[in-house]
């Protein structure tokens, strides 16, 4: 499975592509950041995020796009920018018919480090180790994007089985 992880942000939108299957070593194919000028107006920044993500989709052809689920923060302005960048990533994938998976920050941290309360340094260290890299990707947004892709590769099969079981249970309830 090839997954594009997106750590949404207006100033720095982390992107990373990981390929692999659960239980086998994973391979990082690419990592980077889509940047937008802080002084540009919102519309232009969103277009820049869209163009950057479209370029990553064209180049790497992922099967799934894993995006960090936006969570409430104390700074409303920050959460709004993150949500807007997240929506752009989801739109780009949906336009191409690529499935989108949303993962919470604590879910990603738990999948990669074993604890949902890991800090940025711990996530970077585990991404480095899991992908057999020489050093943690910089900035942290790039490492977070890889962590999202890793989380999805590891968790998607179990989530799919759970969804199928729930659907099967629901369909049996309707026919009884």
Q: Respond yes or no: is residue 41 known to be catalytic.
A: no
Tokens of 164: 């199928």
Rounded to an integer, what distance in angstroms lies between the CA atom of residue 29 and that of residue 2?
A: 9
What is the distance between the alpha carbons of residues 114 and 24, in angstroms, rounded to a whole number? Answer: 18
Catalytic residue (choose from 41, 50, 54, 68)? 68
DSSP string, 42-81: HHHHHHHHHHHHHHHHHHH--SEEEEEPP---S-HHHHHH
Contacts of 86 (CB under 8 A, 6+ apart): 6, 8, 67, 68, 69, 70
Task: Let me know if 68 is a catalytic residue.
Answer: yes
What's the DSSP call for residue 94?
A: H
Catalytic site residue from 54, 107, 119, 141? 141
* Tally of CB atoms within 10 A around 98: 16
Catalytic residues: 7, 68, 141
């Amino acid at each position: 499975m090839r997954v594009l992880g997106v750590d949404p942000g207006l100033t720095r939108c982390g992107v990373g592509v990981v390929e692999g299957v659960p239980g086998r070593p994973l391979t990082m194919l690419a990592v980077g950041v889509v940047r937008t000028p802080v002084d540009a107006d919102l519309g232009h920044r969103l277009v820049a995020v869209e163009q950057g993500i479209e370029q990553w989709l064209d180049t790497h052809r992922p099967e799934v796009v894993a995006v960090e689920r936006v969570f409430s923060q104390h700074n409303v302005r920050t959460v709004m920018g993150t949500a807007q960048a997240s929506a752009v990533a989801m739109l780009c994938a949906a336009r191409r018919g690529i499935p989108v998976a949303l993962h919470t920050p604590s879910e990603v941290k738990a999948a990669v480090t074993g604890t949902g309360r890991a800090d940025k340094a711990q996530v970077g260290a585990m991404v480095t180790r899991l992908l057999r890299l020489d050093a943690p990707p910089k900035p942290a947004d790039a490492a977070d994007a890889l962590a999202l892709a890793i989380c999805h590769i590891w968790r998607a099969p179990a989530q799919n089985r759970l969804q199928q079981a729930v659907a099967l249970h629901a369909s049996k309830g309707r026919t009884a």
